[in-house]
Amino acid sequence: MTQIDITPLTTFAPPGDRTAPSPAEARGLRRDDVRLLVAHGDQLTHARFGDLADHLEPGDLVVVNASQTIAGEVDAVLSGAGASSGEVVVHVATDLRDGTWVVEVRTAPDAAWAVLDAAAGQTLTLTGAGEPAALTLLEPYPREHSSPTGTGNRLWRVSYAGESPLHDLLARVGRPIAYGYLDRRYPIEDYRTIFGTTPGSAEMPSAARPFTPDVVTRLVSQGIAIAPILLHTGVSSQEAGEAPQPEWFEVSGSTARLVNATRAGGGRIIAVGTTVTRALESAVRGAPGQAKVEAGEGWTERVVTREAPPRVVDGLITGWHDPAASHLLLVEAVAGPRLTQLAYDAAVERAYDWHEFGDSALLLPARAEAIAA
């Protein structure tokens, strides 16, 4: 996996106990009751997500991800010749569409740490499947990957053997991928957005979680359009300096035309999350200043950074990312380092909640300053 030679400029204290421990609904809130920090130029506004339409303009286009979260976490027993063996947790990250999959092997019982010393040829026997089912480690994914914080391999390409297709098995016995900061496990419905129609994301495209039918109705009634793309997310537990893995994306002809028409008419393209930004920017064609989005699909390795900035995305709706995360590079590329730092300082000061069930941000830089350092 490609190592990023640059790091985010934004600095702040890790969220610590400000990580949201549960979905908004479990805390007595509606989905759209989570807080929304609006950073527009030098101005900061503290609002609720339900007020999103008040902070956009008629003619803007909000682009959302239609990928639906799958139940990608299962228990297994690791066996065969290798340094590690025994009970583990498997995070099924990506269907490579060639009969093989990408998985991450993590420690049992709560997936707290990546297992870095597994070996090619070892077997992951899935427990609780109700039928024989196993994954065989073929090779590290990608082959050149090495861990910047440890020796070994975090992601593996695997083959699958079982009576049921793996997609069906996961739907029956899998659970949502989760980490140790939640107060308990939550059902798959809590990890799905109202836009998800096509199963395939290992983890929730969480920037869209606070959207509700009421939010959508207000947007549309105020002349703000909505268009879908598709990007199936992999696992988000990247280590510091590790780029996102290749992900499958699709941009339809109708969405491409709407993006181009919006830009030609002076409207802004507002991406809902880093996934949407990556998909749209993977479909951009043309010389700088004449960039247009074209319909397309395939595996994207596009990493949006300050040095490779966005060409069509003008604003970003997003959650809050950890220090040194590669997603933070994308945020800086869209919003600019100055506005990103301003927003994160305010989020820390006001104790905004982090991670997939946390609070949100709407970042709207002045266009000429979007990538200024």
List per-residue pLDDT tens for the chain, 373 residues long: 445 555 778 888 877 788 999 999 999 999 999 999 999 988 999 999 999 999 999 999 999 999 999 999 999 999 998 778 899 999 999 999 999 999 999 999 988 888 999 999 999 999 988 899 999 999 998 755 444 445 678 899 999 999 999 999 999 999 999 887 889 999 999 999 999 999 999 999 999 999 999 999 999 999 999 999 999 999 875 555 567 789 999 999 999 999 999 999 999 999 999 999 999 999 999 877 789 999 999 999 999 988 889 999 999 999 998 887 778 889 999 999 999 999 999 999 999 999 999 999 999 998 644 444 3
Distance CA 253, CA 248 (A): 17
Q: Is the pTM of this model over 0.85?
A: yes
- Residue 203 and residue 152 share a domain: no
Strands (E), the chain: 35-40, 43-48, 61-65, 67-69, 73-79, 86-95, 100-107, 123-126, 133-140, 155-162, 198-201, 225-231, 247-251, 269-272, 284-285, 292-293, 296-300, 315-318, 360-364
Domain-embedded: residue 86: yes
Domain end call among 124, 152, 173: 173
Domain-embedded: residue 7: no
**Dihedral, CA atoms, 25, 30, 32, 33, nearest 10 degrees?**
-100
Domain-embedded: residue 255: yes
- How many structural domains are present in the chain? 2
Domain-embedded: residue 142: yes
H or E element in which residue 131 lies: none
- Residue 280 and residue 132 share a domain: no
Domain-embedded: residue 1: no
Distance CA 122, CA 80 (A): 5
Residue 250 forms beta bridges with which residues? 230, 297
Residue 137 forms beta bridges with which residues? 158
DSSP SS3 for 97: coil
Cis peptide leading into 309, omega within 30 of 0?
no
- Residue 104 and residue 56 share a domain: no
- Residue 212 and residue 133 share a domain: no
What residues contact residue 130 under an 8 Å CB cut-off, 6+ apart? 172, 173
- Residue 130 and residue 214 share a domain: no
Cα torsion 162, 126, 176, 232: sign: negative
Q: Tally the residues of the chain.
A: 373
pLDDT at 238: 56
Whether 34 and 48 have beta carbons less than 8 Å apart is answered as: yes
By CB atoms closer than 10 A (0-12, 13-18, 19+), residue 256 is: buried
- Supply the range of the domain harboring residue 78: 73-173
- Residue 167 and residue 140 share a domain: yes
DSSP SS3 for 221: helix
- Residue 46 and residue 189 share a domain: yes
Domain-embedded: residue 3: no
- Identify the CA nearest to 256 among candidates 289, 290, 286, 229: 229
- Residue 271 and residue 355 share a domain: yes
Whether 363 and 39 have beta carbons less than 8 Å apart is answered as: yes
The 3-state DSSP composition of the chain as helix, strand, coil percent (nearest 5) reads 25, 30, 45
- Residue 197 and residue 153 share a domain: no
Domain-embedded: residue 157: yes
Question: Across the chain, how many H-helices and E-strands are there?
Answer: 6, 19
